[in-house]
Amino acid sequence: MEKVKCLIIGGGPAGYTAAIYASRAALSPVLYEGLEPGGQLTTTTVVENYPGFPLGVDANALMTDMRKQAENLGADIRRGVVTSCDLSHRPFSVTVDSETTLEAETVIIATGATARYLGLSSEQKFRGLGVSACATCDGFFYRKKDVAVVGGGDTACEEATYLAGLCRKVYMIVRRNVLRASVAMQRKVEATPNIEILWECNTREVLGDAGGVTGARLERGNGDIFDIKIDGFFLAIGHNPQSALFKPWVATDPEGYIITDGRTSHTNVEGVFAAGDVQDPRYRQAINAAASGCRAALDAEKFLKQ
């Protein structure tokens, strides 16, 4: 059976950064990229808020370069999905693609999170063409335009107020007649004149043409159907952390985010570390994921030295 010192699960900014640091620390890391090499960032186009790129950077190019950097430093990056594991004792046992089992002295979980979508086919059709699940990433492209945000939680309110600073008008599409968000966030939304809340509305269809999103067809609670004209359609209905595989051993919060110890990447299982969006319900930015990947590799190095 193959034995590895440091096994990294996940090929996003957290995983690749962990691989860069672990390689330089001579841990000979093996990284499995999972189903979506490059992670969530590959669903967007240009990244303008990753430091070091004065003109922005193509998201796929950024992830390809992070991967190459890790490989150049010696990381063994492999295609493959971790399908099961046993973290009850060290060395940990991890099975890939239901066929290959490895033994790992340390494991860094960097499996990320996935934004929830409504499940409409038109929504998938226009992903990256006006449909986005990250206002901080993509809002800039809708300056002085009209957009909609779906959801009534803190994220939706935060994204709506952020977009209101850039866009001409922001609709919030809220399925109930109340917001779930904290009172402070609700006040902020109410105090923003170019936000209009469309209460008790559900999206039936995202409308568009070859150029991208042009509108949305909504249904009110009373059954009325109507269209709004928009250029951007933002989802803010929550995220799902990819932690299910590890839950029998690793402690998570009620939402499934892996709990790490204070400022470190330590989970409740000694030798298992978590980095990136799978342990971060709050910031969810590539730069934070990369930074926490660095922490996880440093923690793994220190753990192995002890």
Looking at beta carbons only, is 176 or 187 nearer to ligand NDP? 176
Residue 6, φ and ψ in degrees, nearest 5: -140, 110
- To ligand NDP, the closest distance from the beta carbon of 216 in angstroms equals 12
Question: The tokens 């957290």 sit on which residue?
Answer: 14
- The yes or no reply on residue 212 touching ligand NDP (CB under 6 A) is no
- Tell me whether residue 6 or residue 174 sits nearer to ligand NDP (CB atom): 174
Q: Would you call 85 a catalytic residue per the annotation?
A: no
Q: Which residue intervals of 25-85 are DSSP H helices?
A: 59-72
Rounded distance between C-alpha atoms, residue 190 and residue 146, angstroms: 18
Place of tokens 């890790």: 70
* 158 belongs to the binding site for ligand NDP (CB under 6 A): yes
One residue of 212, 238, 240, 291 binding ligand NDP per CB under 6 A: 238
- The span from the CA of 178 to the CA of 192, in Å, is 17
> Rg of the chain's alpha carbons, rounded to an integer?
21
Question: In the bound complex, what is the minimum distance in angstroms from residue 62's beta carbon to ligand NDP?
Answer: 25
- The catalytic residue among 85, 134, 167, 294 is 134
Q: Quote the CA–CA distance of 143 and 165 in Å, as a whole number.
A: 9
> Per rule CB under 6 A, is residue 188 in the interface with ligand NDP?
no
Does the protein bind ligand NDP through residue 109 (CB under 6 A)? no
Angstrom distance (rounded) from CA 68 to CA 97: 23
281 lies in the site for ligand NDP, by CB under 6 A:
yes
The residue from 180, 188, 204, 229 that contacts ligand NDP (CB under 6 A) is: 180
Looking at residues 29 to 88 of the shown chain, list those that interact with ligand NDP (rule: CB under 6 A).
none
Using CA atoms, how far apart are residues 16 and 31, in angstroms rounded to an integer? 8
Stretch that binds ligand NDP, among 6-14, 65-73, 136-144, 154-162 (CB under 6 A): 154-162
Is residue 294 annotated as a catalytic residue, yes or no? no
Those residues with Cβ within 8 angstroms of residue 121's Cβ, 6 or more apart along the chain or in another chain: none
Residue whose C-beta lies closest to ligand NDP: 153
Tokens representing 242 are 């990819």
Active site residues: 134, 137-138
Contact set with ligand NDP (CB under 6 A): 118, 150-156, 158, 175-176, 180, 237-238, 281
